[in-house]
Structure 1
Amino acid sequence: MSKQAGEITLPSGFSFDYRHLYGEQMVNSRDIAAISERLAAAHAAVKHMRATGEVRGHLSKDGQPERVLFTQLPYVRPGNLNSPASIARLKEFGQSLQNNVHAIISFGIGGSYLGNKVLFDIGCGEFWNSKGTEERRGYPKLYFSGNNMDPRRTAELIEHITYEARTTACHGTYRVLLLVISKSGSTLDTMSTFMVVYDALKKANPAIEVQVAAVTDPAAGAAETLLHKLAVEQGWPLFSVPDGVGGRFSVFSEVGLVTAVGTGFDIDAFLAGARAMDEACRTDDIWSNPAMLNAALKYLAAARYGRNIEVFMPYGDYLKSVAEWYVQLLAESLGKRTDRSGREVLYGRTPLVAVGTTDMHAQTQQHQDGQRDKVVQFIKIANWQTDPVIPDAFPAAAKLSQMAGLRLSQALDAAREANAEALSQDGRFNATFILPAMNAYHLGELLYLLALSVAYEGELADVDAFDQPGVEAYKRLLGPMLKQLHGK
Structure 2
Amino acid sequence: MHTEHKNKSPAPLSGKALRIDTSAMYTGAVGAGGLPRAELDGLAGELARVHELVTRRRQGGLDAEYASLNLHEELPKSLTAIEAEAARLRAFADVVVIGIGGSNLGAMAVLQALAHGDRKPDTPRLHFLDNIDPDFLHDLLARLDSARTAVVAISKSGGTVETAVQYLVLRDWLRRTRGPSARDHQWIVTDPQQGWLRALARDEGLAALPVPPRVGGRYSVLTAVGLLPLAAAGVDIRGLLEGATASAARCDAPQAGTNPALEMAALYFLLHTRRNKRVSVLMPYIHSLRLFGDWYRQLWAESLGKRRADGTPAGTLPVPALGAVDQHSQLQMYLESPRDLMFAFIALDAWAHRIDVPLDDASRAAFPFLDGRALHDVLDAEFRATRQVITDYGHPNLTITLPQLDAHVLGQLIDLYQRATIYAGLLYGIDPLDQPAVESGKRLAIAHLRGEAKGP
TM over 0.5: yes
- Aligned partner of 1:241 in structure 2 is 211
Q: Does 1:364 align with 2:354?
A: no
Distance in 1 (CA, whole Å) between partners of 2:158 and 2:330 is 39
Q: Is the Cα contact below 8 Å between 2:57 and 2:64 reproduced in 1?
A: no
Q: Which amino acid aligns with 1:216?
A: T
Q: Does 1:36 align with 2:44?
A: yes
Q: Is the Cα contact below 8 Å between 2:114 and 2:405 reproduced in 1?
A: no
Aligned match for 2:113, one of 110, 117, 122:
122
Aligned match for 1:90, one of 69, 76, 82:
82
Q: Does 1:267 align with 2:237?
A: yes
Q: Secondary structure at the match of 1:194?
A: helix
Q: Secondary structure at the match of 2:158?
A: coil
- Aligned partner of 1:13 in structure 2 is 17
Aligned match for 1:217, one of 188, 191, 204:
191
1:193 shift after superposition? 1.0
- Aligned partner of 2:5 in structure 1 is none
Q: Is the Cα contact below 8 Å between 1:14 and 1:436 reproduced in 2?
A: yes
TM-score after normalising by structure 2: 0.90
Distance in 1 (CA, whole Å) between partners of 2:269 and 2:252 is 20
Identify the structure with bigger relative contact order (alpha carbons < 8 Å, sequence gap 6+). 2
Q: Is the Cα contact below 8 Å between 1:389 and 1:404 reproduced in 2?
A: no
1:37 shift after superposition? 1.8
- Mean Cα displacement is larger for which, 228-237 or 207-216? 207-216
Distance in 2 (CA, whole Å) between partners of 1:327 and 1:243 is 23
Q: Is the Cα contact below 8 Å between 2:308 and 2:428 reproduced in 1?
A: no
- Aligned partner of 2:66 in structure 1 is 68
Q: Which amino acid aligns with 1:260?
A: L
1:372 shift after superposition? 0.7
Change (3 A) 1:308 1:396: closer
Q: Which amino acid aligns with 1:358?
A: V
Percent sequence identity over aligned pairs = 30
1:351 shift after superposition? 0.6
Deviations 1:52-89 (A, max 9, x none): 479xxxxxxxxxx98220111001xxxx3x243x2111
Gap runs ≥5 in structure 1: 1-10, 55-64, 129-135, 166-173
Aligned match for 2:97, one of 106, 110, 123:
106
Q: Is the Cα contact below 8 Å between 1:184 and 1:216 reproduced in 2?
A: yes
Q: Secondary structure at the match of 1:346?
A: coil
Change (3 A) 1:126 1:106: farther
Q: Does 1:466 align with 2:423?
A: no
- Aligned partner of 1:374 in structure 2 is 341
Change (3 A) 1:473 1:401: same
- The 5-angstrom pairing of residues 246-257 of structure 1 reads 246-257=216-227
1:207 shift after superposition? 12
- How many residues of Structure 1 are paired with residues of Structure 2 in the alignment? 435
1:366 shift after superposition? 0.7
- Aligned partner of 1:6 in structure 2 is none
TM-score after normalising by structure 1: 0.85
Q: Is the Cα contact below 8 Å between 1:66 and 1:244 reproduced in 2?
A: yes
- Mean Cα displacement is larger for which, 359-368 or 89-98? 89-98
- The 5-angstrom pairing of residues 328-367 of structure 1 reads 328-339=298-309, 343-367=310-334
Q: Secondary structure at the match of 1:214?
A: strand
Q: Does 1:288 align with 2:258?
A: yes
Distance in 2 (CA, whole Å) between partners of 1:316 and 1:364 is 17
Change (3 A) 1:125 1:304: same
Aligned match for 2:351, one of 375, 379, 384:
384
Distance in 2 (CA, whole Å) between partners of 1:205 and 1:12 is 48
Q: Secondary structure at the match of 1:395?
A: helix
1:401 shift after superposition? 4.5
1:393 shift after superposition? 4.3
- Aligned partner of 1:140 in structure 2 is 124
Q: Is the Cα contact below 8 Å between 2:308 and 2:429 reproduced in 1?
A: no
Q: Does 1:298 align with 2:235?
A: no
Change (3 A) 1:405 1:218: same
1:12 shift after superposition? 2.2
Q: Secondary structure at the match of 1:464?
A: coil
Q: Does 1:49 align with 2:57?
A: yes
- The 5-angstrom pairing of residues 169-188 of structure 1 reads 174-188=147-161
- Mean Cα displacement is larger for which, 41-50 or 107-116? 41-50
- The 5-angstrom pairing of residues 389-468 of structure 1 reads 389-393=356-360, 395-396=362-363, 398-468=365-435
1:463 shift after superposition? 1.1
Q: Secondary structure at the match of 2:445?
A: helix
Distance in 2 (CA, whole Å) between partners of 1:208 and 1:404 is 60
Q: Secondary structure at the match of 1:387?
A: coil
1:205 shift after superposition? 9.3
Q: Secondary structure at the match of 1:336?
A: coil
Change (3 A) 1:205 1:475: closer
Distance in 2 (CA, whole Å) between partners of 1:453 and 1:409 is 30
1:198 shift after superposition? 2.5
Q: Is the Cα contact below 8 Å between 1:334 and 1:458 reproduced in 2?
A: yes
Change (3 A) 1:246 1:403: same
Change (3 A) 1:396 1:226: closer
Q: Which amino acid aligns with 1:88?
A: T
Change (3 A) 1:394 1:471: farther
Q: Which amino acid aligns with 1:195?
A: L
Change (3 A) 1:30 1:405: same
- Aligned partner of 1:159 in structure 2 is 142
Q: Does 1:23 align with 2:27?
A: yes
Change (3 A) 1:92 1:207: closer
Distance in 2 (CA, whole Å) between partners of 1:33 and 1:13 is 25
Q: Which amino acid aligns with 1:108?
A: G
Distance in 1 (CA, whole Å) between partners of 2:435 and 2:323 is 31
1:96 shift after superposition? 2.4
1:485 shift after superposition? 8.7
- Aligned partner of 2:9 in structure 1 is none
Gap runs ≥5 in structure 2: 1-14
Distance in 1 (CA, whole Å) between partners of 2:213 and 2:95 is 26
Change (3 A) 1:463 1:205: closer
1:455 shift after superposition? 1.2
Q: Secondary structure at the match of 2:35?
A: coil
- Aligned partner of 2:175 in structure 1 is 202
The alignment yields a C-alpha RMSD, in angstroms, of 2.3
